[in-house]
Chains A and B, each alone.
Chain A
């Protein structure tokens, strides 16, 4: 009797682990399938013309160059605003902030920023940047909106990277006569750089793929030329994919898949770079 019970326990464990494996596969396989499917269906659409020409014939022909360049500009614009601000905020939280009530408020504010729906960021950008500050629907407005959305990702990953630097490094630097800022700039930041970079890229990856925040702040439905200034509206890959898959009747699927593929490669490349930086930094770390 006792022996059967013993066997049962281990049988349960095996069944349980099998079930968990199944669940994990159920989560992961669709992800891989989605990527492979889009690579497979979108591949034939990719040609030199598709990547370097402007859309023609109501977007049913030609290329998607303005959307590619637009997403590139928006990502750079987002980085310009969010990276310095985010890293500085992380430095404050990790190196300067006292554990007081106000610091808790900052942390709660960051958590809330991370949770605000992307379309609400779009409304905010419309209210503040487009209408109130009169930047119009422009790359500037869209980049500012996206950077506030990206900020919490950058702050929290950068803070984690800074905190991972051993306290002893700081103690030694201070004891050698370094000031607080010298310690941060010369010792802490270089050590935390790979971690910070990973966070920055993952944050920008999200910004590059977002549509809702740029819908009313900077995205153009159809603009068959390249933007001339930061105050121009622009086409963008995610919004373009949305437009050609819902708003344009009789769209050739090949162009849809091709656009999805280019967007996916853009985002995947950033993702892979971030993963590589992280794992290389981990294996080289001496502490």
Chain B
């Protein structure tokens, strides 16, 4: 009895530990497969071709700049929408709203996080883009702007939940100290609570940006997918094509192992590295802030 119990305990411990380490295995596997299928691009396509301004794979033009600028344009626009809405909503939920309002607002924001992006893309095609077309008098409503607005909405729940956690974790004594000095609640929010939560709020913004860069379906459905260089503010009102949309739209039609196939994996690799960088930066901000807080409090 004693022996079987020990043996079981031993086996389960091993199993549980292996599961814990599986996350590392998966990240490594993902990176390995992206490298394996994506790196051949560098030998098959010249660097000057990859850095050219034309993405037209049928004629062997693999210029990535239009796709990269398209992604940046849409993501920047989305950030401009998601940050004020997200941070404002988080502050309202955490600091201003009465309890009953909080109980309604939080699940609703969570619900937005759960809405499938195809549903939003579908409404983008049917409602948002015709509206933009007539409002701005454009030849087509399927533009970077439509993508930015939708993506902004998709990034909001991420920003809200991370920023709200950060505001919640500010010790109550900070606020009470400010009130005792005669500050209004509004002053306390701006001069005490938000600065104290600044690292968490920064993380929220970064994770929101990360969410926006990686979003695929909604963007593919509403941005018009024209691979043209998007660097001027005016290109917000014209169709663009993002990196994610390119992969999603073209991967189904390429022959496995072709140059085009490898290049799409190469784009995936670039996206992976971007999301890695964003997330490492976000977690190091939190880590450093924690260390600083420990120094201050000790």
Contacts and interface: CB of A to CB of B under 8 A. Distances in A.
Interface string B68-99: 00000000000000001110110111001100
Contact of B251 (A20, A89, A112, A122): A122
B163 interface: no
A54 B30 CA distance: 36
Interface string B212-241: 011111000100000000000000000000
B88 to A, nearest CB: 3
Interface in A82-104: 85, 88-89, 91-93, 95-97, 102
B207 A115 contact: yes
Q: Is the interface of B mostly helix, strand, loop or mixed?
A: helix
A59 interface: no
Interface in B145-191: 153, 156, 160, 184-187, 189
A211 B96 contact: no
Interface residues of A, number: 89
Interface string A32-43: 101101100000
Contacts of B293: none
A107 B24 CA distance: 9
A172 interface: no
B125 A245 contact: yes
A187 interface: no
Nearest to A219: B252
A44 B110 CA distance: 28
A180 B9 contact: yes
B114 to A, nearest CB: 5
A176 interface: no
A237 to B, nearest CB: 8
A108 B268 CA distance: 20
Contacts of B115: 31, 34, 209, 264, 267
B22 A89 contact: yes
A28 B221 contact: no
Contact of B125 (A128, A131, A246): A246
A91 B16 contact: yes
A277 B97 CA distance: 24
A205 B114 contact: yes
B15 interface: yes
Given A23-B92, A96-B17, A245-B125, A209 B114 contact: yes
Interface residues on B, range: 35 or more
B244 A119 contact: yes
16 contacts: A9-B187, A17-B186, A20-B96, A32-B108, A89-B20, A92-B20, A112-B276, A115-B207, A115-B276, A115-B278, A116-B214, A120-B34, A123-B37, A132-B33, A209-B117, A238-B116
Interface of B: 5, 8-9, 12-13, 15-17, 19-24, 26-27, 29-30, 33-34, 36-37, 84-86, 88-89, 91-93, 96-97, 105, 107-112, 114-123, 125-126, 153, 156, 160, 184-187, 189, 207, 210-211, 213-217, 221, 244, 247-248, 251-252, 256, 264-265, 268, 271-272, 275-276, 278-280, 282-283
Interface of A: 9-10, 12-13, 16-17, 19-21, 23-24, 26-28, 30-32, 34-35, 37-38, 85, 88-89, 91-93, 95-97, 102, 105-124, 126-128, 131-132, 148, 151-152, 155, 179-181, 202, 205-206, 208-212, 215-216, 238-239, 241-242, 245-246, 253, 256, 260, 263-264, 267-268, 270-271, 275
9 smallest beta-carbon distances between A and B, as pairs: A117-B214, A209-B116, A92-B20, A23-B88, A88-B19, A13-B186, A127-B33, A109-B23, A212-B216
